[in-house]
A and B are shown apart, each in its own frame.
Chain A
């Protein structure tokens, strides 16, 4: 950047001046905070980045537009990435390297804690009172008291079922309250009743032909959304409390993984889990009647509704204590942002349930504020609509509030641990080795990666 030569055009000069003016203006505005701005003040643009399906994008666009309407001097530059977790992370990484991070951005929770430690994500502890209403399990901390952010939308793991298929066969739908959750045998029995070969025999029939299955009873994803609540329900965990000792090879944990493997290779009620991830989304699987039940995240409700699946939801089977997980990515503020106050105002807005009600009523997110799980009127405000089936109150709202544990993401270095663990678990999912062998074999390697756990407050 050499100094301007006299010959350079005035265009460049004026553009640069404008640039400086806008920085100066935003600095000035940052100083003013949320107080009314003088007429003709420069608009501030907040770059906001998030991921999700196209339906999610539309829901969030509506929220951004409402925000701009209420705040005429703010422009939200919404950047939606319709891609996998991996690709989104790649984008964030390159943005950090290039110094181009957006002002406010969604980020997966494990990475968010690392970025808070690195000082890339703004420490929100000074503004903690803005987030006082958030459910305690839905807040992330990278160090004691150092608030990374609340879960942007709360999610959980549920059973989704095609109601019509169950009713036609006269099979009882999945239980809808935590205390009536199936035990494992009841769950397998139902899955068998809903699995059929081409001649229409169910998997419970001795004549059943596992080589020509037409319809599967259950599918489940291979990431921790499916297995983590089950092992927690059985009293096992990935590590000990401190996050220093690997415990996934405890007899209880091994038993859970073996049971899941048996669903595919012994009972023949589930398709190969790794292979079904390459198939169309679970909504299509239920709709086309290839599958009767699926374990999936609460967010699928939106896509299920769009696809008009005749839907029933239920709680996960219990292996001891009825348990699900509370899951959710977070949204953080770029620590380098020039417009902290505006970014903060927008961030708080994104975390006020009543301001973003359309994201709840559509079925995409669950609120992150306690009151929306405890106050009947407030609960009704987000679940009394066509997107939420009648059993939602007990099977999702009460279930997540009373029976959920946080995911394993508070273990330090979880992204790398997960990458190793998933590779090893492939051998469980493809049926090539018993769960015990795999979980014992990977023990030294995972043990070597453990360095502790992030605090919960």
Chain B
């Protein structure tokens, strides 16, 4: 698009203009989809968040009242925000760590590599709701596999999902089990680490740990960064666990923000307030994403791009 300087008007009206037109045309479905199904509803929800619309009846404009109520009168807002932050900041790093370790192992030249890769990826293929039901049974304190096994080993049992203190750690355990996706992305990243760098470490007499510390991890930072951002956004939007497993309980200890938002909108029919909640979530995610991108300057290394 910055090529006007070197193209003559005639040339532009020819090939390039046609390409431009085609480009726009082919991009249109995606752009229209984005405008109609994402930007449109966002604008609408921004407006609705300034009203007291409750599905029935007429909505009246209440200004920033919903936001004020949220910050001053709604203990569940802070509770759900806290639950979500706790879950996010515990599960995402743990998941990345496990996924990274698994990727390193799966990248090694061992026999049956393909089979191991398949096995580790398998949990990702279990549909989300089937997965939650399965884990609900595993976590059952009276009949579940976990407690039965612990009992037989003579170890103390847990209430898992049914205790305010252990519900989030239990859900984190379940989330980490689904590390396969991140592992695949890490594996792809590992394939791209140039072999000559490892050779250089060997020449300098470095061992495995040196390779990891001075080559693998630095070269993998863009992939780690990518997984971190995706994982964080995903877990900020955690919903199915609360919806299908805990109903936000016990005593709202797993009241994920999006689940609270859903309940406000569809159980209590308070669309105005729910829209306000969703805008705050958007801002919170935006804030953390910006922070991560900022911090990336100091720890993410792109090969052949010294300036960053």
A residues near B (Cβ < 8 Å) are 86, 89-90, 93-94, 96-97, 115, 118-120, 211-213, 216, 271-272, 274-276, 278-279, 290, 415-416, 419, 422-424, 426-427, 429-430, 432
Binds A, one of B8-16, B102-110, B117-125, B155-163: B155-163
Query: Which residues of A sit under 8 angstroms from B248, Cβ to Cβ?
Result: 423
Residues of B close to A89: CB separation below 8 A: 266-267
- Determine whether B19 belongs to the interface, using a CB cutoff of 8 Å to chain A: no
Interface centre among A119, A211, A271, A430, by most chain B C-beta atoms within 10 angstroms, is A430
Assembly CA distance A90 to B138 (angstroms): 29
Point out the residues of chain B lying under 8 angstroms from A279, CB to CB.
Answer: 137, 140, 143
Inside 8 A of B162's CB, which chain A residues have their CB?
Answer: 272, 274-275, 429-430
- How many residues of B are in contact with the other chain, CB < 8 A? 32
Listed A/B pairs (27) with beta-carbon separation below 8 Å: A86-B266, A89-B266, A89-B267, A90-B267, A93-B266, A97-B271, A118-B57, A119-B56, A120-B56, A274-B162, A275-B140, A275-B141, A275-B161, A278-B133, A278-B137, A278-B139, A278-B140, A279-B137, A279-B143, A290-B143, A415-B267, A426-B164, A426-B251, A429-B250, A430-B163, A432-B164, A432-B250
B132 CB, nearest partner CB in chain A, Å? 10
CA distance A211 to B157 in the complex (A): 9
User: In the complex, which residues of chain B have a beta carbon less than 8 angstroms from the beta carbon of A93?
Assistant: 55, 265-266, 269
Task: Give A85's nearest chain B residue, CB to CB.
Answer: B267
For B142, what are the chain A residues with a Cβ–Cβ distance below 8 Å? Answer: 213, 216, 271-272, 275-276
Chain B minimum-CB-distance residue to A413: B268
Contact A278 B136 (CB under 8 A): yes
Q: Which residues of A contact B57 (CB under 8 A)?
A: 118
- Which of B56, B263, B268 has most chain A Cβ within 10 Å? B56
Asked if B210 is an interface residue, CB under 8 A from chain A, the answer is no
Bitwise interface map of B from 240 to 256 toward A, beta carbon under 8 Å scored 1, else 0: 00000100111110000
Docked-complex contact A272 and B159, CB < 8 angstroms: yes
Given known contacts A115-B56, A278-B137, what 17 new A-B pairs fall within 8 Å (CB)? Answer: A89-B266, A89-B267, A90-B262, A120-B56, A216-B142, A272-B159, A279-B140, A279-B143, A415-B268, A419-B268, A423-B252, A424-B251, A426-B249, A426-B250, A427-B164, A427-B250, A429-B162
The 5 closest A-B CB pairs, nearest first, are A426-B250, A271-B142, A90-B266, A278-B136, A118-B56
What B residues does A212 contact at CB under 8 A?
151
Q: Which residues of B contact A290 (CB under 8 A)?
A: 143
Bound CA–CA A213/B139 (angstroms) = 16
Q: Which residues of A contact B161 (CB under 8 A)?
A: 275, 278
Contact between A432 and B163 (Cβ–Cβ < 8 Å)?
yes
Chain A residues contacting B136 (CB-CB under 8 Å) are 278
Interfacial chain B residues near A423, Cβ < 8 Å: 248-252
Q: Tell me, in angstroms, the Cα distance from A211 to B147 when the chains sit together.
A: 10
Q: How far is the CA of A93 from the CA of B162 in the complex (A)?
A: 30
Per-position 1/0 for B252-288, Cβ under 8 A of A: 1000000000110111110100000000000000000
